[in-house]
Structure 1
C-alpha cells in the first residue's frame, strides 16, 4: 500500500453514526482515595455503579466491557483490571473484558475498541470504564511513573520532571517555527481552565485560590517547573474514574422507548480519528519541519475525524474538550483544530474565542488543568462531558444550545492521538 493510498483510506469511509451514548458517571476528582484507605477497585466500583444508576441500566445488561488504564501496575501494583471489573457485581462474571493502554489516550482507545465491537455487530451494549490511581505516592515518584509514556532512557533523561520538560520543548518548537510564544497567552489558557473548573462540582481544583500573578511569569506565585513551563500551566495528578455506556442504534432505540425518551434525548458519536506518531518528540518535530504544522499528525487526526463526521468547519462545533496536560498542549490544539491559521493560536486567546462565553468555548469542564487528569480516565471523561453538553446535562458547565462537541485526547508527546465529534442524536 502506498503512502497516498494509506492517507486516502484514513479519510474515506463511514463515520460512527451507529454508536450512541446512553450516559455515564465520573468520580469526584478532588478525592484522594489512598487517604481514605480505598483502592483502585473501589474507584472502579463507584464509577460503574453511579453510571448504572444515572442511566437506569442493570449490570446484567452489559454485554462487553473495555477498561482504559495507563499505570495500574506502577502506582498500585495491580494489573488484570478486567478481572476486577468482573468482580464488581455478580452479574458481571463472564462478561468479556479488555484493558487498553496508550498513556493519556488509554480511555479513548477503550472507547474506540467498544465502538468497533458495536459496529461489527458483536454486541449492542458496551461499558467503557477509564481509571487511574496516582495520589498514593510522592510527587517525584509519580513523575517517574508517568515517564513511562516517553521512550525510556532516550528522552529527557536529565529532567527531574519529564513531561514539563517535554512540553517546554514544544514551546521552543512553536517559537522557532512561528515566532516567540508569549507566556501571557499560556497563562490565559490556564486561567480560563481553572475558572471553568470552579463551576464543575467534580473538579479537583474547584476550591483552589489564585491571585492575578498566578498566571504570569511571577517566580513566587507561578514558579518554573522545567524550562519554560510553570506550575499553573500543568495538568493535575489526579485519582479518578469515569464510565460511559455505548449502544448500537437498535439498543439505543429500545433504551429510549422503555424510558419514554426520544432518540434525540441521547448522544451519538458522529466521527472519530486515530493516529500514532513516532515515539520520539524529535521525530515528530522532524515530520512537521516542511509542513504548515509543528505536529502534523495531530492536525491530520482532527481532519480525519471531521471528515467522518461531515464537519466542514470547526465553527460548526459548539464546544471543544481538548487535551491540556499543559497550557502549551491546548495552545497547539487551537490551530490544529482550525480555530486559527497555523501559528496564530494567540489570536483566539486574545479575542476571547475560547472563553466560556466565547464563540467556541474550549474545556468548559475545566479540562485537565482545571478539572483534573486521571490518565486512563481522561478520554472516557471527555466522552461523558461531550454527552452531557449535547444533551443539556452539563449543569453549571453547560454551553448554551450545544448540539455538537469536538474531543481531542493525546497520549505521550502526541504519540497516540484520538479525536471524536459527539452530537445530539436525531
Structure 2
C-alpha cells in the first residue's frame, strides 16, 4: 500500500486584492502566500524537500514562465530545492497536488509544498477571456463567441435540457445565490462586500444580464488574482511534526482518496461519448467514484461537505448529479430541498466557491485542498460546517477535460 499523505496546513491570499494596481507582480503573490503558509504551519523553508507549482497561463497574463525558478529565488534555503510546474487549465493546482502526493507515496520526499497561483486582473476583461480561452481547442470550439467559457457552459445547459427536459433557471440562480451568500462569510472572498437584490438571481435582463446563451452575469465565477499553498507530508513525517508541536495525528488532515480522469478535448466529443450513458458527464462521475473507492466510501452522504468547481452555476448543477446526490438529471431536487445549503444535509461550497470566493485559475485546486483541511480540522471560521470529518473536492479544467476529485478526512 502507498504511504498515507497528510496535510499540515497552508495559506491563501485575499482574493479581493488586485496586485497589478498595487504595483506588485506574480512573484510577490507567490512570496506572500508561501511565507504566510510556512508561518501558519510552523515550518521553515529548509523543511521543504520539493515544491510543485500549479499555474495555467502566466505567460499570457504577465509574460512569465519558469515559475519554479521564482520559488528558488524566494529564500536562500530554497535554492536547489527541486520544483515542477503543472498546467491543466482550471485543474492545474490539482495536477500539482497529484504529482506531489505521488512523490510522497513513492518515498522520494517526506515534506512537499504545493503552490497554485494565477495573476489575472492586470488586463481588460475581454483580453482575460481570450487568454482563458486557451483551454478550449483553438479555432475549433466557440469561434464565434465573445466569451468562450460562458458559451461552453451555456451549451452544457442545452445538453442537460435535451437529455432530461428543460432546465429551470431558478435552480441555477439559487446555486449562485447560495455561493455568494457563503462568500460573504469568508474573509478571503473576492465578493464578500458585493451587494445583490432578489432580482440578481433571476432572468431579469437588467439585474442579471445574459453573457452567452442562457448563462447570466451572476452565474459566473470570478476573474481573480490569487495564490494558495498547502504542505503535504508522509505518515512518518506527519507523526514527527505532530509530536514536536504537541498535536495528535487527528489534529491534521489526510488525503483519503483521489480520482483523476481526462475526457476528450472538445465538449462536442464529450457529449457524443455520453449519448448512451446515464450521465451527461460520465468521466466526472467516474473520477468522483474513483476517489470514493480509494477512500473506502460508497455514498456522497458519507461526506460532510463538498468544495466543487462552480466556474458557472451550471458546473455545480452538473456536479450535484455527478456526485450522485440525486439521480442523473435531478440536481434540481437537491437545490429545491435545501440539501446543498449551508445548513443542509450536504453543504456545497461553504467557502463561497469560485462564484463567491473567486477563481484564480491555477490556485483553485490548491485552495480547495486548503479549505478541505480547514473544515476537517475545525479551522474554517464562519465557513465551518459543524463537526465536519470528511470533505469531497472536485476540480475541473476546460469543459470537464481534466477532472480531479479528492476525499479529505481527519488524520488517524
TM-score class, shorter: over 0.9
Superposed CA deviations along residues 377-399 of structure 1, whole A, max 9, x for unmatched, are: 00000000000000000000000
C-alpha separation in 2, matches of 1:312 and 1:105: 24
Structure 1 unpaired stretches of 5+: 1-13
Is residue 2:294 matched to residue 1:319? no
Equivalent in the alignment of 2:215: 229
2:167 aligns with one of 181, 184, 209: 181
- TM-score normalised per structure 2: 1.00
C-alpha separation in 2, matches of 1:373 and 1:188: 19
8 A Cα contact 1:237 1:372, kept in partner? yes
Structure 1: which 4+ aligned runs deviate by more than 2 Å?
A: none
Equivalent in the alignment of 2:109: 123
CA RMSD of aligned residues (A): 0.6
Is residue 2:45 matched to residue 1:59? yes
C-alpha separation in 1, matches of 2:192 and 2:87: 29
Is residue 2:368 matched to residue 1:382? yes
Equivalent in the alignment of 2:228: 242
Number of residue pairs matched? 412
Is residue 2:67 matched to residue 1:81? yes
- Once the two structures are TM-superposed, the CA of residue 17 in structure 1 deviates from its matched residue by 6.1
Is residue 2:137 matched to residue 1:151? yes
Is residue 2:306 matched to residue 1:306? no
8 A Cα contact 2:3 2:104, kept in partner? no
**Equivalent runs, 1:142-221 vs 2, <5 Å:** 142-221=128-207
2:35 aligns with one of 35, 45, 49: 49
8 A Cα contact 1:17 1:268, kept in partner? no
Equivalent in the alignment of 2:320: 334
Superposed CA deviations along residues 22-57 of structure 1, whole A, max 9, x for unmatched, are: 000000000000000000000000110000000000
Is residue 2:123 matched to residue 1:132? no
Q: Secondary structure at the match of 2:409?
A: strand
1:406 aligns with one of 392, 395, 412: 392
Equivalent in the alignment of 1:3: none
- Once the two structures are TM-superposed, the CA of residue 214 in structure 1 deviates from its matched residue by 0.1
8 A Cα contact 2:3 2:234, kept in partner? no
Equivalent in the alignment of 2:401: 415
Equivalent in the alignment of 2:278: 292
8 A Cα contact 2:11 2:229, kept in partner? yes
8 A Cα contact 1:292 1:342, kept in partner? yes
Superposed CA deviations along residues 49-95 of structure 1, whole A, max 9, x for unmatched, are: 00000000000000000000000000000000000011111100000
8 A Cα contact 1:274 1:417, kept in partner? yes
- Once the two structures are TM-superposed, the CA of residue 311 in structure 1 deviates from its matched residue by 1.1
- Once the two structures are TM-superposed, the CA of residue 284 in structure 1 deviates from its matched residue by 0.3
C-alpha separation in 1, matches of 2:261 and 2:299: 21
C-alpha separation in 2, matches of 1:139 and 1:297: 31
8 A Cα contact 2:52 2:86, kept in partner? yes
1:271 aligns with one of 246, 257, 260: 257
8 A Cα contact 2:117 2:362, kept in partner? yes
C-alpha separation in 1, matches of 2:286 and 2:166: 24
C-alpha separation in 1, matches of 2:364 and 2:75: 24
